[in-house]
Structure 1
């Protein structure tokens, strides 16, 4: 099967629309989302509806839960808190119900989906150092662990027996057609698709991943979108200027 892996859409309808258009040529069987569908951007409801229409299996992100009162926003920065307050006022009853139903982790063989870290899913840790990655991949019970949250695309191979990272591929290295072994007793793999709606690796294009489980291949993709339109909506909504400006920088 061919799976599309999306994460961190953050209410950016222009970016999500561009990704879904790009996926039309990829013969996708199923769409998986790693959370943070809402927050920051100006189209939370429309993004949720697009995912519902495609029956996307979605894990909860910290912004998703904060926007329905299931996560304290005291740890959020000022711009993120302002976006949460604004987003709450935009959500329909159906939107709130959908966000409340997002689970912290999802298992869809051969994948485990989580927004942050598997060792403490409810804490939404950033997987930014080797020890955290090793802990998460040691905890993971499936061959492939899908995690978002950092907005940084990466592919990591882990040797279970030696408890060490064997391979790490990140932007701007070539990230197309990466192979993985079907060896669940010996290997684990971490795949972070980067962010659809707010990339932070210096490339403003929307980021997503396609996994072909028959060929055992992982391909990272980037697609341009109408950044100016997304920025204009953020400004018209009265959201913090930083949330609009950063889209053009990919930071």
Structure 2
């Protein structure tokens, strides 16, 4: 079995709840699709947890923004969070982020990316089709980035977005991840104590605008992400 997690975004209480659920299922192999950084204030705790378990992680767009210093071209709120994270990032965790060399991984017939297969770092797959995957080698395809969990069963291929550990955007505030088990793919939702990350965000100087969305299962500002279209 493999647990696939993604888009942790510095939300350690959510990550801990997901890892506890994975442990309770006795799953030993975990792959992270990226974006450990961005949005929430417990970036060091999240990286420490991944390092302690030796969890393989891809590089997400927020990881790139943080290390490159380029910032997010779409969101001033995201950049405020990134600036805070850089100010508290431990040197060894900065090195860990810098060593995230790839946004894709291939294991046998399983392909993992952060964004999509046209742009591994920053493609949003809100619409997926059989044609998109038809000429791509492999049978199982996993990507994150949208924060919306989905499983798309095609005739001979399966696409899965595990959703987001740290900032669900589908109107459900529960953390989300996926399990691959002998050719079957399942998305799992996990409760966690949102009040804890809200407390630490407030303690770190952020007003509720930056975290009240977690209670809604939405983007910062309250917008629910676009619904997947499958065709």
The equivalent residue for 2:154 is 158
Report the Cα offset of residue 8 of structure 1: 0.6
Number of corresponding residues: 217
Secondary structure of the residue aligned to 1:81 is helix
Is residue 2:198 matched to residue 1:231?
Answer: yes
Secondary structure of the residue aligned to 2:2 is strand
Secondary structure of the residue aligned to 1:89 is helix
- Structure 1 runs (4+) deviating above 6 angstroms are none
Contact 1:152 1:201 in 2 (8 A): yes
Secondary structure of the residue aligned to 1:60 is coil
For 2:119 and 2:98, the matched residues in 1 are separated by 19
For 2:92 and 2:174, the matched residues in 1 are separated by 30
Residues 189-208 of structure 1 aligned to structure 2 (within 5 Å): 189-208=158-177
Change (3 A) 1:140 1:10: farther
Report the Cα offset of residue 14 of structure 1: 0.4
Secondary structure of the residue aligned to 1:55 is coil
Q: 1:148 aligns with which of 134, 144, 149?
A: 144
For 1:7 and 1:188, the matched residues in 2 are separated by 21
Residues 46-57 of structure 1 aligned to structure 2 (within 5 Å): 46-57=45-56
Secondary structure of the residue aligned to 1:16 is helix
Contact 1:115 1:148 in 2 (8 A): yes
Secondary structure of the residue aligned to 1:221 is strand
Is residue 2:13 matched to residue 1:14?
Answer: yes
Contact 1:118 1:139 in 2 (8 A): no
Is residue 2:63 matched to residue 1:64?
Answer: yes
Report the Cα offset of residue 74 of structure 1: 4.8
TM-score scaled to structure 1, two decimals? 0.81
Contact 2:33 2:113 in 1 (8 A): yes
Report the Cα offset of residue 142 of structure 1: 2.2
Report the Cα offset of residue 240 of structure 1: 5.0
Give 5+ residue unaligned stretches, structure 1: 160-186
The equivalent residue for 2:41 is 42
For 1:55 and 1:22, the matched residues in 2 are separated by 17
Give 5+ residue unaligned stretches, structure 2: 219-231
Q: 1:219 aligns with which of 186, 189, 193?
A: 186
Contact 1:117 1:126 in 2 (8 A): yes
Residues 161-172 of structure 1 aligned to structure 2 (within 5 Å): none
Describe the superposition over 1:3-33 as per-residue Cα deviations: whole angstroms up to 9, x where unpaired: 0110111100100111111111212130001
Contact 1:112 1:140 in 2 (8 A): no
Contact 1:134 1:158 in 2 (8 A): no
Contact 2:2 2:181 in 1 (8 A): yes
